[in-house]
Amino acid sequence: MLTLADGVLRQKMPIMFIVPKTRSYSYRSSGFSLQDKKEERGAYMIGMGDMIMPAILVVSAQVYAGGEGILSVAGVALPALGAMIGGIVGLCSLMIPLNSGKPQPGLPYINAGAIIGFLICCAVTGSWAWVGF
């Protein structure tokens, strides 16, 4: 995965989120390489799929686990809101090992948070119709 991500970064393909650590960082001038392990990286990098997959769970939870009689907050069904909050918690837990400077896969952390948040809120609302039993 690191080799694939490094190749994508070298070709400057727009399938990654680059979040600078400092205000003065410029991707165009300094670039970003995963192979350079000795120097401090000036930005965090996360793949587009790491953000899209949990978002698909949030939308699916709104469509299939929401509905009449399901508790909602501002029109968002509680299972979808739980998946959203769980994804954010997963992203925050991903930042802990990332701050040590070691590249980590983002999808396991973020998806695990989204799925756990979704299941907890399904248990709270009793919304199990999406299971299909």
- pLDDT tens for each residue of 96-108: 888 877 778 888 9
Percent of the chain with pLDDT over 90: 27
pLDDT at site 131:
77
pLDDT at site 31:
61
Q: Of 129 and 9, which is predicted with more confidence?
A: 129
Euclidean distance between CA atoms 39 and 82, whole angstroms: 38
Average pLDDT, the chain: 81
pLDDT at site 5:
66
**Do residues 32 and 46 make contact, with C-beta atoms less than 8 angstroms apart?**
no
Residue written as token pair 């997963």: 90
Q: Which long-range contacts (C-beta less than 8 Å, at least 24 apart) are formed by 77-80? A: 77/125, 77/127, 78/121, 78/124, 78/125, 78/127, 79/118, 79/121, 79/122, 79/125, 79/127, 80/118
Residue 69 has pLDDT above 90, yes or no: no
Residue 35 has pLDDT above 90, yes or no: no
Across residues 69-74, what is the average pLDDT? 81
